[in-house]
Structure 1
Amino acid sequence: MGTQLTEDLGRVGVWSGLLASDEPARRDEITEAVAELEELGYGTLWLGGSATPRQAVHALAATSRLTVATGITSIWNDGPADVARASAEVNRAYGGRFVLGLGVSHGPLHREYHRPYSAMRDFLDGLDAAEEPVPAERRVLAALGPKMLALAAERTGGAHPYLVTADHVAQARERLGDGATLAPELKVVLDPDLASARATARAYLGMYLKLPNYTNNLLRLGFTEDDFASGGSDRLLDAVYGLGNAEAVRDKVEQFFAAGADHVAVQVVNDNPRTDIPRAAYRTLAEALSLGSAG
């Protein structure tokens, strides 16, 4: 809310695991896609899939204004000294346009996973103690629960929660206070056929519903185990996705802003979300969200 980080992120960004890829065969395709995001008026590209700071270099080199953030860098993959060094090098080379998003990831994905809150606090201590510390205002946490949100407000520029609802955004805003940036991710399916859109959404959501950090958060929000069956109930899908035509997606984005988000990172989900970069959808959403006219 008025912070430098909020201004740097812009109003709307794109969350993508594909655009974090360093496959040589896709380099030109990704360069063109990232450059177009900047032209369309998106403020930030969030690199998914436990991206490292150095994976931001390709996108930063392809642009001149776009902020590039990790969404997220897992604290279990590299130590804080290495992460701090890489973050400093990237920001030095690209005019301070990199933001470090940090997360504890998930127990089923990391054998080292233990005491996530304490581990994150210790990792932040390590970033502060590094030879070139990561400034608090240039890092955010993938915070879902109350304790991690409080830590984000205390030790970072804000929070980048993933797989959340407008109700969670409102709760996060209250816990963060007005001084921290709130930048939730929002999945969207651009498809005017609601049944078809939900089918696409279910096919992608199923893998996330096997991860306790997400399901526990959804349970706190009033969903039940029944909502997690078969890729998600209609009620759940409608809460965690923007589904339908561009106007319906715009309305969902606006719900997140009304609930207290400073920035919304849209993740476009299509029939082949792990292989197809949805450039046409990015264009459609940029127009619907008036990004070009917003500068």
Structure 2
Amino acid sequence: MTQNPATRLPSPEVTGPQREHTDPLPESESPAAPLTPAQAFDALYAFCSPALVRQTYLLTGRRELARESVERAFQLAWERWPEVAVDRDPAGWVRAMAYEFALSPWQHLRPRHRHPEAPVADPSDRALMAVLQKLPPPQRRTLLLYDGVGLDLPETAAETEASTPTTAGRLLRAREVVATRLPELSDPGELHRRLAELASTERLRAAVPRTVRTGGERRVRFWTRAAIAVTVALIGTTALTLRTAPTHYEPPVAPGAEVQGVPARVAQGSLSDAELKLRKKLREATASGPERLVPDGR
């Protein structure tokens, strides 16, 4: 399987034994000045983004999602540029991030991705896109990397974070499904050609590199400020809690309980004749003068 030129960056310098056979630079010629990080990022973006957008479109079947996934992947690359710049395959790093973003399960929850987009015009291309979208995401990604991009089996397994036997099984199952529904694509070479043609028919344009870099920087500033705001809110809430919280333990009031053995309350009955006479005497004595009632000793 031939490698897609958009999957590998050319090496900027010659290393190993080949360096010994290179002619020395003339004394009048000086080596080119090293690229700045922004220039190196722009070169990587210009080299990879057009093909990567088309590949992601085959992976998702959505044009806007393909562009957004590639832009988000390059924004992550710019945020981690010291790490990406020294990676052995920067294009593969960005491609893996774009595929992960495009195949994220939460993409189906976004309102603008709930409705299908306009299909491709050619009926045969439309049939191939329909078959691809019916494949499970792991099989679709494996098929696209191996038969579309042109990676070999170990590289495909490494990028999909799966073992080589698992990757081979996914590839065979995906090819079987495609061959069952589209018998003319049972040959891997023909399938590779059709995938390349299908990707090239869509006129998908990537954003300007500077726009991607500034968008990523704005995103970083936004999330940094959001993190600072959340931290300040947590500090303020903690301080308010410490100030208003009680300084000693207050045991809770025990719930009421029913007391057993208490006699029932008896209503007061009518007074006897002696009690009525006593009450009358008391009322008359207290209302007729300064006499005081004293106990009557018996």
TM-score by length of 1: 0.23
TM-score by length of 2: 0.23
Asked which structure has the greater CA Rg, the reply is 2
Higher strand share: 1
